[in-house]
Amino acid sequence: MSKFLQILVNGISLGSIYALTAIGYSLIYSILQLINMSNAAVFLTSAVIFYALYSSITAGSVALTFILTLIAAGALGYVIEFIAIRPIREKGDSNTYALISSIGVKTILEQLCQGTFGSEIKPFPTLLAGKYINLAGARTSAIQIIIIVVTLVILLGMTWFTQHNRVGRGLRALSQNLNACHLMGMPVNTLIGLSFTVGSMLAAVSGVAYCMYLSSISISVGSAIGNKAFAATVLGGIGELKGAVIGGYILAIAENFVSGYWSMSASNFISFAILILVLIIKPTGIFGKKEQKKV
């Protein structure tokens, strides 16, 4: 029983990381129909920025470092959109072009991180290290609980943001009809840039949280998360906040159980198998709405 609970707890904390990253993908995909490949690289870059700041300028203060990292990641997101996506978008070119461009950005960021950080693992500052709580036999570290709580808070915040905030509602409007928004005089470019900012900040939160959870950082942290988070987005239903979140939790928990009771290789297999199955049964994902075909 304790094994079962332990795996569940670990699955939920990993699921939180997937969910946070998945929202970033979902946000941008719903607006531009673009798989933003650079998101996984932002995940890594912000963790590296956090590490660099923490070990030099803001030594000691996790909160200050975190705020600076968020600002940097947000700015990075806007810049990526401005340089690599906007010129293509404004010419009205296919999103396949934007996709390749984002792959280019991903390569550049990853190589820069690797060049400045090196490829060795390094210890990452974590909160309340060595503190554990026993939840009915499942050993839960303080950072796991923090991650789960932070994820829930951000989810509530994002829900409020997209439902009640002017900017958030603007983003939702964009995802429904970009062209109409433009005609209505909405600042489409700024809003899209902002969606990249928000997506990058979410990636930064999950990147830093993940490294805190592992209490170490190496340049391969982003590689595995990228595809999984995107899979989670699609599994839940693209463009749906709750879809991305539920998708993230389903994948992470399923993976943990399969590797806990069977083998780790099978667990990677299972997440993609689940995805294909769900898409065959319900092509729009669990929460996705049916697309209207227009003639």
Out of 167, 186, 268, 286, point to the residue binding another protein (CB under 8 A): 268
Out of 99, 158, 171, 212, point to the residue binding another protein (CB under 8 A): 99
Length in residues, the chain: 295
Residue 120 sits in the site that holds another protein (CB under 8 A): yes
Residue 121 sits in the site that holds another protein (CB under 8 A): yes
Least separation in angstroms between CB 157 and another protein: 26
Out of 1, 56, 92, 290, point to the residue binding another protein (CB under 8 A): 92
Give how far Cα 288 sits from Cα of 119, 133, 152, 237, Å. 39, 37, 21, 4
Least separation in angstroms between CB 33 and another protein: 6
Count the alpha carbons within 13 Å of 186 in the hemisphere toward its beta carbon: 21
Residue 32 sits in the site that holds another protein (CB under 8 A): yes
Residue 263 sits in the site that holds another protein (CB under 8 A): yes
Out of 42, 221, 241, 244, point to the residue binding another protein (CB under 8 A): 221
Site for another protein in 138-197 (CB under 8 A): 139, 141, 144, 177-180, 182
DSSP string, the chain: -HHHHHHHHHHHHHHHHHHHHHHHHHHHHHHH----THHHHHHHHHHHHHHHHHTTTTTT-HHHHHHHHHHHHHHHHHHHIIIIIHHHHHTT--HHHHHHHHHHHHHHHHHHHHHHH-SS-EE---SSTT-EEEETTEEEEHHHHHHHHHHHHHHHHHHHHHHHSHHHHHHHHHHH-HHHHHHTT--HHHHHHHHHHHHHHHHHHHHHHHHHHHTEE-TTHHHHHHHHHHHHHHHH-TT-HHHHHHHHHHHHHHHHHHHHHT-HHHHHHHHHHHHHHHHHHSTT-SSPPPPPPP-
Give residue 256's identity as a one-letter amino acid code.
N
Size of the site for another protein (CB under 8 A): 92
Least separation in angstroms between CB 210 and another protein: 8
What is the gyration radius of the CA atoms in the chain, in angstroms?
19
Residue 128 sits in the site that holds another protein (CB under 8 A): no
Out of 75, 111, 133, 163, point to the residue binding another protein (CB under 8 A): 111
Stretch that binds another protein, among 64-72, 155-163, 197-205, 255-263 (CB under 8 A): 255-263
Give residue 65's identity as a one-letter amino acid code.
T
Out of 57, 96, 157, 187, point to the residue binding another protein (CB under 8 A): 96
Residue 55 sits in the site that holds another protein (CB under 8 A): no
Of 72 and 106, nearer to another protein (C-beta) is 106
Stretch that binds another protein, among 3-11, 43-51, 71-79, 148-156 (CB under 8 A): 3-11
Stretch that binds another protein, among 51-59, 85-93, 153-161, 165-173 (CB under 8 A): 85-93
Residue 205 sits in the site that holds another protein (CB under 8 A): no
Residue 234 sits in the site that holds another protein (CB under 8 A): yes
Q: Are strands 138-141 and 216-217 parallel, antiparallel or unpaired?
A: unpaired
Least separation in angstroms between CB 107 and another protein: 3
Residue 116 sits in the site that holds another protein (CB under 8 A): no
